[in-house]
Amino acid sequence: MSEAAAAMDRMYRGQRHIYDATRKFYLLGRDRLITKLAPAPGQSVLEIGCGTGRNLILAARRYPDARFFGIDVSEEMLATARAHIARAGLQDRIRLAQGAATSFDPLTLFGESGFGRVFFSYTLSMIPPWQSAIEHALTLLNESGELHIVDFGDQARLPRAFRALLRKWLTLFHVTPRDELDGVLEKLATANAVRLQAVPLYGGYAQSAVLQA
């Protein structure tokens, strides 16, 4: 087991049981991302950092003709995800595997060489080599595929005291908002000749982006 995987397992060994109940109050924009995915029938959808499986379950219910996949570095979270997916009766439509966001091989894990949709939902702020994770995700897109991202924003238009308190609290969970995300995405869009749409959400509390191949 890698050091990163072991660290995530330690963090989520207890938290995974209450994760969804607590995160719904501050992981804003996740359902908006799912709505914007809109995969075509038969398309494959991959979540990088799938956690408890919450997003994959909602997406699979919304798009019954698509195929869904999820990876996570934490086996603890994957255990919870598998249980949730089985309880939802979606184990035949959602496949999971353990892997690092920057280096996993989808052909080895899933027999898939690429995906129509790939998404990160509040995971880049927890992945130290987050830029490498985005770069790797871009290599997984099929022709006309899309990479969707939602995560914490810079909170620039929110009260300074709120921003300071939020960030101090997030550090307790090893979460670091990526203030430079927009600039990094612009450079990657140019370098990879893909289209970028990026918008702040809720006064900059969160940020949303779509890169289309």
pLDDT of residue 8: 55
Which pLDDT does position 17 carry in this prediction?
45
Provide the pairing of β-strand 94-98 with 195-201: unpaired
* Mean pLDDT, 10 residues at a time, the chain of 213 residues: 55 49 69 97 98 96 98 95 97 97 97 97 96 98 97 92 92 93 97 96 95 96
Q: What is the pLDDT of residue 19?
A: 47
Count CB-CB contacts under 10 A for residue 163: 17
User: Is residue 113 classed exposed, middle or buried when 0-12, 13-18 and 19+ CB atoms within 10 A define those classes?
Assistant: exposed
pTM of the predicted protein model: 0.88
pLDDT at 20: 52
- Output the pLDDT for position 6: 57
- For Cα atoms 83, 89, 92, give the angle at the middle one, nearest 5 degrees: 95
Rounded distance, CA 174 to CA 62, Å?
Answer: 31
DSSP lists the bridge partners of residue 97 as 71
**Tokens (6 digits) for 115:** 């995906």
DSSP 87-147: HTT-TTTEEEEE--TTT--HHHHHS-S-EEEEEEES-GGG-TTHHHHHHHHHTTEEEEEEE
